[in-house]
Amino acid sequence: MSGEDLHQRYVAAVALANEAGALASSYFRDRVRMGTKMKGFQDFVTEADQVVEDLLRRRIAEAFPTDGFLGEEGGGSSNDNLWIVDPIDGTANFARCEPHWAVSVGFVRQGVPEIGVLAMPTLNELFAARRGHGATCNGVPIRVSDVADMQTAAVEIGWSPRRPTASYIGLVAEVMDMGATVKRSASGALGMAWTACGRVDAYLELHINAWDVAAGIVLAREAGAVVNDFFRGDWLADGNPILVATPALAGSLADAMVLDRALLLRSDAH
Ligand code: IPD
Ligand code: CA
């Protein structure tokens, strides 16, 4: 795939995230229209999740008919050129009319994340990155914080029922004992984008799915973050742990998660 082909997909991803964000917004705060249901324990889905994913699936099939598509709600299958989409990340927030949610559009080529775009309509923010071309928020370049001391760090640790409560509490305790303040805002995708722009200093989660992180990994790396090797094993079907952090904090946070420091990927972004 040429640079021009990737550029076309980047431009499309930005337009799609904006369009999808507007559609999701038309459901936000309208609890009746939202029609919230439960997929499982603490696992929400709304009508907006389905409708937004259908829109993205349709638009991508029209524009790039040979590319693959995987979405949180409708699934999909592997493809060398794969769009990975989370129609609403932070669905539990969305369903409760809390504004911390985003539409996530990622593009992964042969296991390499190339494009990541997140729309957060409630703040009118659009985060966008292409591998090797930097990361921006509303067109302005973004960068991770320079926080190097855990005693001044803010670390978000994501939670889901997919891992034991004791493991989550153990990780929170360990990171707090290192001196960081720990938070949880319930959107993994935004946790990574907020690390990328320096609003928090790291995002960690013991297990996360590909649709939550495909876009965020590109954003974070392009903004200078260190990330773990999420794209290993059967990442597409099974997910993996995620660690995204400022370069100075990544090693000790990897130790807390029992991840191999040697497998952390340093950003080539300057
Ligand atoms: C969830 C959110 C949450 C994270 C979970 C995800 P959803 O996705 O990103 O912050 O901790 O692992 O499943 O359900 O809001 O799309
Ligand atoms: Ca999600």
State the average pLDDT for the chain: 95
Tokens of 83: 């769009």
Name residue, tokens 């928090």: 200
Q: How far is the CA of 180 from the centre of ligand 2 (A)?
A: 25
Query: Would you call 72 exposed, middle or buried from its count of C-beta atoms within 10 A (0-12, 13-18, 19+)?
Result: buried
- Is 187 touching ligand 1 by the criterion CB < 6 Å? yes
Q: Which residues pair with 141 in a beta bridge?
A: 136
Angle between helices 188-196 and 210-222 (to 10 degrees): 0
Q: How far is the CA of 43 from the centre of ligand 1 (A)?
A: 8
Residue 269: per-residue pLDDT? 55
Q: Is the pLDDT of residue 270 over 60?
A: no
Domain boundaries for CATH 3.40.190.80 within the chain = 150-263
CATH topology for 3-141 is: Fructose-1,6-Bisphosphatase; Chain A, domain 1 (3.30.540)
Q: What percent of the chain has pLDDT over 90?
A: 88
Residue 268 has pLDDT above 90, yes or no: no
Instruction: Tell me the per-residue pLDDT of 61-98, one tens digit each, with 9 for 90 and over.
Output: 999 999 999 999 888 888 999 999 999 999 999 999 99
- For 108-147, the pLDDT digits (tens) are 999 999 999 999 999 999 999 999 999 999 999 999 999 9
Q: Would you place residue 43 in the very low, low, confident or very high pLDDT band (cuts 50, 70, 90)?
A: confident
CATH 3.30.540.10 intervals, the chain? 3-141
Report whether residue 168 contacts ligand 1, using a CB cutoff of 6 Å. no
Angle at 114 between CA 141 and CA 256, to 5 degrees: 80
Secondary structure of residue 193 in the 3-state scheme = helix
Architecture label for domain 150-263: 3-Layer(aba) Sandwich (3.40)
Q: 259 CA to middle of ligand 2, Å?
A: 23
Sheet containing strand 81-89, strands side by side? 75-76, 68-71, 81-89, 102-109, 112-120, 125-130, 135-137, 140-141
Helices (H), the chain: 3-25, 31-34, 47-63, 91-95, 165-177, 188-196, 210-222, 235-238, 247-256
Counting residues of the chain whose pLDDT is more than 70, the rounded percentage is 99
pLDDT of residue 83: 98
Mean pLDDT of 177-199: 98
- Is the CA virtual torsion 175, 181, 187, 189 positive or negative? negative
